[in-house]
Amino acid sequence: MTKNVPAIRAEHLVKTFGDLEVLSDISLEVAKGEVVCVLGPSGSGKSTLLRCLNWLSPPTSGTVWIGDEMLGMERDANGTPRPLGDARLRRQRSRIGMVFQSFNLWPHRTAIGNVMEGPMIVRGLSKNEARERAEVLLDRVGLQDKATSYPAKLSGGQQQRVAIARALAMEPEILLFDEPTSALDPELVGEVLDVMQALAEQRTTMIVVTHEIGFASEAADRIVFMDEGSIIEEGAPADFLSSPREQRSRQFLDRYLKRTSFTSFASC
């Protein structure tokens, strides 16, 4: 039975800020081991969707399931949903990893300190266990020699790789990436995408909001295209990128190709 339960499932998510509807009726399922890339123009609600998926910003209505557990909500004896207690919400959140656009490392802890923090504080691992786990992960993101460096001494790409290791240290069932390379200098994007590509190849369940269409075409099992708070189209990368069905997807891809054609020719 568990085989068929999706890793994460969102049903009819709506998110409004005042009069502004940022998400309108989004439903999305991601299977275990699946890599989904979410594309779309700025302001289309991609980041808001991710923030609803780990309850950082609870949706106005709709439900999210991780495995077979309802996220952030529970039903009382009459079956009416109500917000989940803080301790249980935190336990659920710890099953979902998140990597942010602006890294959000803690500047008063070293690289390895950042990675050890969650396992120690949230999972209750001993310092030694946490250190062992963190060393393995820093090694995986190619930063074993930067373990004792503070974030301020690391490049953006290195900081983001530490942030990925930090998320992995919680051994999450799902990893959410919120435009992980958008704040990086162009020459640093590659090292982060390489790490993510490796994760994708190891069948890590990932939802990646990104503008890196190249990465999406190589790493994603499925592309979801969003505009104005709705999912406009989804499909396998090859289909979506070569023959998008919807007008808005075509416009988006055309604009993207025009913007990058110069650089891609230059690199040929």
Partner 1 sequence: MFNLDLFYESVPILASAAIVTVELTVCSVILSLLFGTISVMLQLSKIPGGYWLSRTYVSIMRGTPLLVQLFVVFFGLPLLGIKGQAFLAAAVAIGLNSGAYTTEILRAAVQNVPEGQIEAARAMGMSTRQIWFRVILPQAFVVSLPALTSEFTIVLKSTPLASVVAVTELTYAGVVIQARAFSAVEIFLPIAVGYVLIALSFTQVSRWLERRFRLLHT
Q: Is 122 in the site for partner 1 (CB under 8 A)?
A: yes
Tell me whether residue 31 or residue 122 sits nearer to partner 1 (CB atom).
Answer: 122
Tell me whether residue 118 or residue 244 sits nearer to partner 1 (CB atom).
Answer: 118
To partner 1, the closest distance from the beta carbon of 86 in angstroms equals 7
The residue written with tokens 């890599």 in the block is 35
Q: Is 98 in the site for partner 1 (CB under 8 A)?
A: yes
Q: Is 118 in the site for partner 1 (CB under 8 A)?
A: yes
Out of 33, 81, 83, 90, name the contact with partner 1 by CB under 8 A: 90
Q: Is 94 in the site for partner 1 (CB under 8 A)?
A: yes
To partner 1, the closest distance from the beta carbon of 96 in angstroms equals 7
Out of 61, 63, 104, 217, name the contact with partner 1 by CB under 8 A: 104
How far apart are the C-alpha atoms of 110 and 159, rounded to whole Å?
11
Tell me whether residue 6 or residue 118 sits nearer to partner 1 (CB atom).
Answer: 118
Q: Is 93 in the site for partner 1 (CB under 8 A)?
A: yes
Q: Is the distance from CB of 205 to CB of 128 less than 8 angstroms?
A: no
Exposed, middle or buried by CB within 10 Å (0-12, 13-18, 19+), for 185?
exposed
To partner 1, the closest distance from the beta carbon of 90 in angstroms equals 4
Nearest to 39 by CA among 184, 160, 167, 177: 177
| Residue 208, Ramachandran bin (φ over 0: left; ψ between -120 and 50: alpha; else beta) | beta
Nearest to 102 by CA among 203, 184, 191: 184
Task: Give the binding-site size for partner 1 (rule: CB under 8 A).
Answer: 29
Instruction: Report long-range pairs for 185-190 (Cβ below 8 Å, ≥24 apart).
Output: 185/156, 185/157, 188/155, 188/156, 188/157, 189/157
Out of 45, 58, 59, 100, name the contact with partner 1 by CB under 8 A: 100
- With H, G, I as helix, E, B as strand and everything else as coil, classify residue 38: strand
Q: Please, where are the H alpha helices in the chain? A: 46-53, 86-93, 111-121, 127-140, 156-168, 186-201, 213-219, 237-242, 247-267
Q: Is 91 in the site for partner 1 (CB under 8 A)?
A: yes
Q: Is 161 in the site for partner 1 (CB under 8 A)?
A: no
Contacts of partner 1 in 55-74 (CB under 8 A): 56
The residue written with tokens 């709705």 in the block is 230
Out of 108, 128, 258, 262, name the contact with partner 1 by CB under 8 A: 108
- Residues interacting with partner 1, by CB under 8 A? 54, 56, 86-87, 90-94, 96-98, 100, 102, 104-108, 117-118, 121-122, 150, 152, 163, 166-167, 170
